[in-house]
Chain A
Amino acid sequence: MMQEAAAHKTASEAAPLLEVRDMTVQFFSRHGTLTALDDVSFAVRSGEVLGIVGESGAGKSLTGASIVGLLPGSGRVTAGEIRLGEQRIDNLDRARMRRIRGREIGLIFQDPQTSLNPLLTVGKQLVQTITSHLDMSAAAARQRGIELLRDVGIPAPERRIDSYPHQFSGGMRQRVVIALALCADPRLVIADEPTTALDVSIQAQVLALLQDLVRKRGLAIMLITHDMGVIAEAADRIAVMYAGRIVEIGPVRQVIDSPSHPYTAGLMSAIPRLGDRARRLVQIDGNMPRLDAIPSGCAFNPRCPRVMDICRVERPQLRPTRAGHAACHLYPALPQAET
């Protein structure tokens, strides 16, 4: 392990900030075990936005939740490892995980209304969060809170800091949530559908703000969303998930413009685009399988237009394609490509 860490340092400055390797998440109940995430591997570097996309039930939110130890119910990470920098974080106890959450990893959720306490002023919430993570006096924390509100583009932060959440508009409230996520200067922010509840003009402002933070602070962002437009706009690389697995990962334009995996290809041509009314949308018939009925072999095989015999039997691993990786038997393992 020491050796590995050393190798990472010498490799280059491109050593990932977050590395998830072969992560499997399972849920246990009387009726049996459900595998919700299966062998998920990816990395996020500082100064990068990694988009995680997929349709409902693909496991994208669960991926975010498992990294910060917030799996619901009986869910547990049963295999693989998660590293933040040099530190392994998937086996920490709850107290230590809580320190990582907030201090090292900031969280932004979909609905700003529910991520803020309606009974406390924004200032109180900022000060509480700051002092619980950083060694700071209340006065200094308040000052820092004002700076943060200014950073996320809230006008007149000296006055607004004493407002209650309901006194902000939806877009401003989401800015407050972002300020809260940044309280302890985290290195990674996990944003789960951060703009889904917002109108488009506000959404564009929030996305611009997130990108700005990446550039200015060298932040790494994991952007989880179902909205391919948002990803196209804001992400550097994207990981496409289907039925609990990553089916394709690569540079954003590459994956969107010339997708390798048939599921990604179908998804991309199912999206209506501005300015082409004539085209009939490609449909992927059927639905994503339920967790208790994931087909053998490639989970996409019953819906795949290019299905082969092997797809029904053998589960494809992520293998290199032109610019990224895809888990599909159309891309046979190359002899030199071994990770």
Chain B
Amino acid sequence: MMVAEAQRPDRAASTPQLVVKDLRKQFDLTRSVAGRLLGRHQYLKAIDGIDIEIARGTTFSLVGESGCGKSTVARCIVGIYKPTSGQVLFDGADIAQMRGRKVMLPVRRRMQMIFQDPYASLNPRWRVSQIIAEPIHTHGLLPDRQAVQKRVDELLVQVGLAPGDGRKYPHEFSGGQRQRISIARALASSPDLIVCDEPTSALDVSVQAQILNLLRDLQEELGLTYLLISHNLAVVAHMSTRLGVMYLGRLVETGDSQLLFGQPMHPYTRMLLSAVPDVGGAAVKRVAIAGDVPNPINPPSGCSFHPRCPFVQDKCRMVPPAPSMVQGRLVACHVLAEHGDLPA
């Protein structure tokens, strides 16, 4: 049902939960003080102009190989990094340029994050109930201790744990249960958007299934919006409404998840999908894979994928391609923009 909704073009009626416009983030890598003083800066453009729109109650996923900037996007959105430029519109309000704890706090309540490593993201010295109650206290959501305790118990049950588990410490739980605790903590402030950065990468498959099912149930129940970051394309295919494929800090293809998985267009998306070892046997036509992701400090000119692209043309080496609409999705590729398809 959610898929059908997202495919409907007339969603303009309601503002999207999150709109990211031309988001850029560069890191200054200049080592020496002299270099800094003389203005000889060396920059790493971690993300270089990203546009994303996420409708309420849907899941948008960012995929790409390590170093493509997907986690940087997530961190810019939740405010861990300050973007170099661009807008992050949460419910229509630009939060990228907001400063100060007071201004940010109401936004932070509605935006939570789940991290990859449930061992590192929970304070080992705190009891689970304390961990889950922290956002409630921070945002002053409930008046007294009893109410907080009741809410914590509720949250524990909601993520499939028992109220009694609140008295324990994180080390008494397995990886999957710890990830449930992280989810309960994220839910504590009743957020609208949850950014999930590799939520199941540290878990075994049978436990991964438990967490993915839980995330989908919660989405249906609470109408949550997810931004999912994952390198596991099967997980992404399972969870996403829409999908953005990143390469060296840029989106190369954005569109409906089923459409992209069924019929990838951008040469990089094709290569990436055909590289996924799938249990179901090769669903996607195999494409020859060559080369490594280039160094992002010194990215190739023009289209940054051109050194690995089998369809490369002269233009690709010089001009970075702007995204254009091809067969129902946005792609940044000169060849596709011109011919509407790749040469056979």
Contact = CB atoms under 8 A, between A and B. Distances in A.
Interface of A: 55-56, 169-172, 199-205, 207, 226-230, 232-234, 253, 256, 266-268, 270-277, 280-285, 287-288
27 contacts: A55-B204, A56-B204, A199-B65, A199-B231, A201-B293, A205-B290, A228-B279, A229-B276, A229-B278, A232-B280, A233-B277, A234-B277, A270-B209, A272-B237, A272-B239, A273-B278, A274-B234, A275-B262, A275-B283, A277-B3, A280-B216, A282-B209, A283-B209, A283-B210, A284-B206, A284-B209, A287-B174
B275 interface: yes
A202 B284 CA distance: 17
B275 A201 contact: yes
B206 A273 contact: no
B281 A232 contact: yes
Contacts of B208: 270
B309 interface: no
Interface string B170-195: 00001010000000000000000000
Contact of B205 (A171, A230, A271): A271
Contact of A274 (B3, B231, B237): B237
B289 A266 contact: no
Nearest to B65: A199
Interface in B228-276: 231, 233-235, 237-240, 257-258, 261-262, 271-276
Top 10 A-B pairs ranked by shortest CB distance?
A229-B277, A272-B238, A270-B209, A55-B204, A199-B65, A281-B209, A204-B275, A233-B277, A284-B206, A272-B234
A281 B174 contact: no
A171 B294 CA distance: 12
Contacts of A56: 204
A243 to B, nearest CB: 13
Centre residue among B216, B235, B238, B284 by max chain A CB count within 10 A: B238
B292 interface: yes
Contact of B258 (A170, A202, A277): A277
Given A266-B206, A267-B205, A274 B278 contact: yes
Given A201-B65, A204-B275, A275-B237, A270 B205 contact: yes
B253 to A, nearest CB: 15
A274 B284 contact: yes
A271 B261 CA distance: 17
B212 interface: yes
B289 A274 contact: no
A271 B213 CA distance: 12
B207 interface: yes
Nearest to B63: A200
A55 B272 CA distance: 26
Contacts of A172: 292
B123 interface: no
Contact of B277 (A232, A284, A285, A287): A232
Contacts of B238: 272-273, 276-277, 281
A228 B231 contact: no
B227 to A, nearest CB: 17
Chain B CB within 10 A, most for which of A200, A234, A266, A287: A200
Contacts of B261: 274-275
A205 B206 CA distance: 27
Contacts of B289: 201, 204-205
B7 interface: no
Contacts of A283: 206, 209-210, 213
A228 B3 CA distance: 28
Contacts of A273: 234, 237-238, 278-280
Interface in B139-179: 174, 176
Interface in B288-330: 289-290, 292-293
